[in-house]
Amino acid sequence: MKIDLNADLGEGFGVYSYGADAELIPLVSSVNIACGWHGGDPAAMRRAAALAVKNGVTVGAHPGYPDLMGFGRRYMALSADEVTDMLLCQIGALDGVCRAEGTRVRYVKPHGALYNAAAKDAALAEGIARAVSLYDPALVLLCPAGSETEKAAQAKGLRTAREFFADRGYMPDGSLVPRSRPNAVLTDENTICARVLTAVREGTVAAENGEEIPVRFDSICLHGDNPKAVRLAAAIRGALDSAGIEVRAFADGNHEN
């Protein structure tokens, strides 16, 4: 049995640091690097890419809305064409930086409000899938299982990977508990590790109302902005290792460097 662990990196910019990238990256198998629009800047992108190469970790592009002030977590009314153009720009920028560091972007995971909106909006999802397909159809699109994003990617013939959030609460319909509500973000290490093991082994997770709901996934997301991110990542990695579950990147070897 194997599973991927992914985390967001490179989200600081200018003089502002954000997250513990150097401490977090050895614990995961894939990293979602911000592309400068919701967070990050060229220097942060290159530092994150260099860290990925140093640690043998697979790189994914993490494009978001152009919203540094709101960290890409606020919805923006953009057309599907605007989303396509926006993603082409962001993926291409990060891939260029990665090439300079001796690696490549292997997958794409939309960030924040864009990720959540596209999961339910077929037009936005099509805009995202179109961008990935136009840039490089060998890229994997990381998205929620059963989402409009997954459907749009499959319609384009793209490979997809489904995601589970270790530290986020789930609604009975399988969507994430909105961040504005209590229990949206979980912090207890023991609880999180136990639900991760249950999700991997049994394919279920306890929703907000206590109901056990099915989850299908290839990768587990660890949020780097969680104050306990490094400790939590170490605990989850330790729990998986102890259970004999191999941590391995879901997207690798799609390109020659």
Please give the chain's pLDDT, 257 residues, in tens. Answer: 899 999 999 887 876 777 788 899 999 999 999 999 899 899 999 999 999 999 999 999 999 999 988 888 999 999 999 999 999 999 999 999 999 999 999 999 999 999 999 999 999 999 999 999 999 999 999 999 999 999 999 999 999 999 999 999 999 999 899 888 888 989 899 999 999 999 999 999 999 999 999 999 999 998 776 678 899 999 999 999 999 999 999 997 543 33
According to DSSP H, which parts of 77-225 are helical?
A: 80-100, 112-120, 122-135, 148-155, 189-202
In angstroms, the CA 102 to CA 236 distance is 29
* CATH 3.20.20.370 holds for 2-247: yes
Which run of H or of E encompasses 50?
helix 42-55
Roughly how many angstroms between the first and final C-alpha of the chain, as a whole number? 29
The Cα–Cα gap between 176 and 154 comes to: 22
8 A C-beta contact, residue 8 and residue 223: yes
Contacting residues for 82 by C-beta, under 8 A, at least 6 apart: 127
Task: Determine phi and psi for 3, rounding to 5 degrees.
Answer: -155, 155
185 touches 192 (CB < 8 A): no
| C-alpha 142: how far from chain center | 7
